[in-house]
Amino acid sequence: MGKRFNVLALLLFLTALIFSACASSAAGSPTTDPIMVQLTTDTGWWIDTTGSVRRDVMDALKAESRSAERDGFQIGGVILSNSVSEVMDICTKFGNFNGIGNKEKDNGLAICVFLDKEGASGDKPAIAVAVGKGLEATLNDAKVGRFLDTYFVPERTNGNWEKGTINVTNAFHRYLIDPENEEFKDPPPNWTLIIIIIVLLVILLFLDGTFNNFAFTMAVMESAAKGGGGGFGGGGASR
């Protein structure tokens, strides 16, 4: 009886260990990247691989994404633990793996939250937003960064990253519906700084032509023309 109990206990321990390892792999760790998870009709548009996020938070995120889908867009997200790779790389892979966005329009957004990873400011969790190719002109990297700074970062600073994630998801949805809304207007350009830069460039060009026969200018132009014209699908930002 004692031996049978010991064997049973060992089997239960090994089973728990295996499940723990699988969960860790799905969520990622400081030494391993998370395994890509598939969004399905059962999971909805958001998955919590850590099993630690409150039900009401996940329900709110899924509801926001369902609303965006009804408006013709797709916003999918995942809650992870950590990663070795950069968060933007993971988020871009997550978006491509799940094919988020309309096939013809590429109008999807992928949002990844890393609970145990520090963002650029040193605060946890880190967040990354990958933008579908069809939205990169509308949601460039700078604008995505401003959305995160406005709607997510302040809440994270106050210890309420869940609210920040819901807020920024809602803001992206509202922006996709109405990009011309005054709430989302970019700040006006700093014309003083622009004029100063132009004047400095003109002076530099004049000096280069006068004393160096435009050698520096030609070298800069030559180095800037060596690209092969490749396209990238890694638009977005992280914080």
| pLDDT for 191 | 66
Give yes or no for a cis peptide into 125 (omega within 30° of 0).
yes
| pLDDT for 232 | 31
Q: Is the dihedral of CA 238, 20, 35, 167 positive or negative?
A: negative
| Other beta carbons less than 10 A from residue 206's beta carbon | 10
Token couple for 86:
């950069």
Contact by Cβ (8 Å): 187, 208? no
Nearest Cα residue to 41 out of 69, 19, 60, 22: 69
Token couple for 215:
């050698």
Task: State the number of CA atoms in the 13 A half-sphere of 224 facing the CB.
Answer: 6
- Whole-model pTM: value is 0.71
Domain boundaries, the chain: 46-183, 191-219
Nearest Cα residue to 34 out of 71, 73, 89, 75: 89
Tens-digit pLDDT string for the chain (239 aa): 555 545 455 444 444 444 444 444 678 777 889 999 999 999 999 999 999 999 999 999 999 999 999 999 999 999 999 999 999 999 999 999 999 998 888 899 999 999 999 998 899 999 999 999 999 988 999 999 999 999 999 999 999 999 999 999 999 999 999 988 777 776 666 667 777 778 777 787 777 778 777 766 665 544 433 333 323 366 888 99
| pLDDT for 183 | 73
Beta strand segments in the chain, E: 46-48, 74-80, 108-114, 126-131, 236-238
Classify domain 46-183 at the CATH topology level.
Diaminopimelate Epimerase; Chain A, domain 1 (3.10.310)
> Would you tell me the crossing angle of helices 215-223 and 191-212 to the nearest 10 degrees?
120
Most distant CA pair in the chain: distance in Å?
Answer: 97
